[in-house]
Amino acid sequence: MSIPTPHIEAKSPDEIAKTVLMPGDPLRAQFVAQTYLEMPVCFNQVRGMLGYTGFYKGKRVSVMGSGMGIPSSMIYIHELYAFYEVDTIIRIGSTGAMQPEIKLHDLVLATAANTDSKINHGLFGPYEFCPTPDFDLLIQAYAKAKEKGIRVHAGTVLSSDQFYTALPDQVFQNLMQFGALCAEMESAGLYMKARQFGKRALGMFTVSDHILTGESDSPEARQEGYRQMMELALEIAPE
């Protein structure tokens, strides 16, 4: 396949930085570009999935929406890694907490992704392959979050194929018992693609809902929480 790809209209890899921040919402990508990047230039509008490249404290960084879920996000992740010479993707999204010690607005770093997706079905014979993030990025993010006074948790996440799903009670209890911190919808796909292409990836998430307590953030509070996460991702973004 040549570029532009079916889903990204950038005509050259040079239009996209080596590091891409990736929220699900394209309007969130636009917000990051307009709020934090100097001289942002839009490189994609196909299907409304906005992408921008600009500068943050002298570093060239891109930000692009991915849509929700593994199938949508993997299209963009694949094309960025395979055709646009992107080295690093940092996922910045929201999540629902699954552990009592995790609170609204906390940050979760995904050290691995449990999933019901079949994206790696049959690839590894009888083995269940466990995709993981780039270790150096993970350590940098955790240390920087602590330095900034952010409540941060690092551990496995549930990367589900469905948003509206009712897990059987025993399955949910098992996930909690075995340490799953939260539920989201993209990390498994991101980490699989990063491993496939030998690239770097990290999923970080702001807790916007609590599955155990039923708490849910207001739009205003979510915005402030996202800002904290966005700034952390921009700080650790490689050159």
Query: What CA–CA distance (Å, rounded) separates 99 from 101?
Result: 6
Return mean pLDDT, the chain: 94
Does position 225 have pLDDT exceeding 70, yes or no? Answer: no
Angle between helices 70-83 and 187-197 (to 10 degrees): 20
Q: What is the pLDDT of residue 223?
A: 60
Q: What is the pLDDT of residue 224?
A: 61
The residues, ordered by sequence, that sit 6+ positions from 180 with a Cβ below 8 Å of its Cβ are 98, 99, 114, 155, 156, 157, 158
The amino acid present at 216, given as its one-letter code, is S
Q: How many CA atoms, within 13 angstroms, populate the side-chain half-sphere of residue 154?
A: 16
Q: What is the pLDDT of residues 167-223, one digit of tens each?
A: 788 988 999 999 999 999 999 999 999 999 999 999 999 999 998 999 998 877 666
Query: What CA–CA distance (Å, rounded) separates 77 from 86?
Result: 9
Q: Containing H/E element for 158?
A: strand 152-159
Query: What CA–CA distance (Å, rounded) separates 27 from 7?
Result: 17
Q: What is the pLDDT of residues 91-116, one digit of tens each?
A: 999 999 999 999 999 999 999 999 99
Q: Containing H/E element for 229?
A: helix 219-236
Pairing of strands 51-56, 152-159: unpaired
Bond from prior residue into 6 cis (ω within 30 degrees of 0): no
* Annotated catalytic residue within 25, 116, 161, 209: 209
209 tagged catalytic: yes
Q: Helices marked H in 178-218 — which ranges?
A: 187-197
The answer to whether the CB of 36 falls within 8 A of the CB of 21 is no
Percent of the chain with pLDDT over 90: 83
Other beta carbons less than 10 A from residue 93's beta carbon: 25
Q: Where are the domains of the chain?
A: 13-236
Q: Determine phi and psi for 35, rounding to 5 degrees.
A: -90, -40
CATH 3.40.50.1580 fits 13-236, yes or no: yes
Q: Determine phi and psi for 111, rounding to 5 degrees.
A: -80, -20
